[in-house]
Structure 1
């Protein structure tokens, strides 16, 4: 196993992007909200929404006291709007189960709505400084190349946590930095399509580089095209309801001109199933 932590930690301290959730004292609630928002979403889109969200709801109890419709509306164009509902439910659970304080324990975090292995450990590590492996897509790519000599990671699995644990330093603070550094390296240097190997602080220890950069294949599931998809139709329905003064509209008027009537129906049905839209007296509205 290559000794990656000294050069990677040094590189991170000198080159890490200045992001809000990395600021001293940002707080566990802010970290949790940011992690919900960052899932499959660009940093540049998250930052303004995160600031607006935390200004309006600076604590879990503040969000829990608001109607779910407000959470869905303020989620705006971040995509995957179920995350807004999950975050609202998680805030309610934090208020009711943990006296309004985001828990530190990984198992307690995993018991909250919408939180999986990555988010639970990210909060425990980046908010509380505990020693756990934190593995996102960028980390998995760094591990695949530097440790396993592969061009791309395989499908996510529990093995990823073990692989990251194996390179973590014993010191809690250094372990937290290494977690952040691996994620940062994958985001800005060891990118999926155009890795900047000449700028990589661990290129000397990279198994993929040593093997001559072989193409070992890419079996990751590809995301379906957005244009013309059911996801686009769902987003269009929510956009109509967000824009309405009372967050509602007559059922028949919502996307009445959508070119695919069956797709419109599927979009509305799926939004109702997900709890993002409700139907009352012939009108669609955001959840109350």
Structure 2
């Protein structure tokens, strides 16, 4: 059990002032396009998938393009996997694009182009995990469900428990966060968005702006802002298999059709073994395919 874990009991809840946090959010929330009026559940779902492990600044322009190009699931379902992968661009973790295309197909065929509002139905969709299902239920449909991401876990760990970090995800995260939600459904949805906003913009991991925090009470500040128990190392990107995969995908995204192996070899000449490993993993993940002639193409474009 982590230090401080035993202190996580219900009487501690209430350290986060609901009214103050909601007022702060209403006055200062970032003007993100997926928060605007008229945004559909499908468009919010797209934003949530894109925002996983990807900064807002990179997501916003591509999300706008996707909303214009594929405003409803059936529009995306009618496109090829390769088209969706090409449009994904530099967002990273491109398997998300394939799963979103698969999800669009299910929504178009089984749900009449509508995104379900039920968490369990959302969880049954391809590529939709626990966080995304609850985020859509909350932010698209205003439901009172706990939405727990890294930012929320950090705010709760600090403000409620006085811990420098939230530690690893735990089954207790959902009930703990749900216990903080206001009873009124409408306020609960806003509160969830506000918790996330606070963690993303003020109570950040490395340089929390405590002077700008709206909360009148914070157990972490009261305890003298103890250091995090686990120092997390920043994962490098340069020279990794992820970068090698990205370079190979760049070649295929720019091509009009299947390409020869030589063009892929030239895209990552520094380490043939790593290149072969990256190519094999792209094939296994279904992001690319190999034709009968031995050429390579984005998924669904091998016959072009």
TM range (shorter): over 0.9
Q: Matches of residues 1-288 of structure 1 in structure 2 within 5 Å? A: 1=13, 2-202=15-215, 204-218=216-230, 222=233, 224-246=235-257, 248-256=258-266, 258-280=269-291, 281-288=293-300
Query: Structure 1, residues 14-42: CA drift from partner, whole Å, max 9, x if none?
Result: 10000011101211011000000000101
Residues in 2 aligned to 1:122 and 1:153: alpha-carbon distance in whole angstroms: 20
Q: Deviations over 1:227-260 (max 9, x none)?
A: 00000000000000001122x2112321335110
Unaligned runs of 5+ in 1: none
Q: Structure 1 residue 173: deviation in Å? A: 1.1
Kindly indicate whether the alpha-carbon contact (under 8 Å) linking 1:153 and 1:218 is maintained by their aligned counterparts in 2: no
**Worse-superposed segment, 2-11 or 175-184:** 2-11
How many angstroms apart in 2 are the aligned matches of 1:3 and 1:217? 23
Q: Secondary structure at the match of 1:249?
A: coil
Unaligned runs of 5+ in 2: 1-12
1:131-173 deviation line (CA, Å, top 9, x unaligned): 1001111111101100111111111122111111011001111
Number of residues paired by the alignment? 285
8 Å Cα contact 1:64/1:91 also seen in 2:
yes
Q: Compute the RMSD of aligned alpha carbons.
A: 1.2
Aligned partner of residue 285 in structure 1, secondary structure:
strand
CA distance in 1 between counterparts of 2:186 and 2:277 reads 48
Distance 2:126 2:49 in 1: 11
Report the Cα distance in structure 2 between the residues aligned to 1:207 and 1:218, rounded to whole angstroms.
Answer: 19
What is the SS of the residue equivalent to 2:186?
A: helix
Moved beyond 6 Å, runs of 4+: none
The whole-number CA distance in structure 2 between the counterparts of 1:156 and 1:13 is 29
Once the 2 structures are TM-superposed, how far is the Cα of residue 282 of structure 1 from its aligned partner? 1.1
Query: SS of the residue aligned with 1:205?
Result: coil
SS at 1:133's partner residue? coil
TM-score scaled by length of structure 1: 0.96
- Distance across 2 between alignment mates of 1:168 and 1:174: 8
Distance across 2 between alignment mates of 1:219 and 1:169: 33
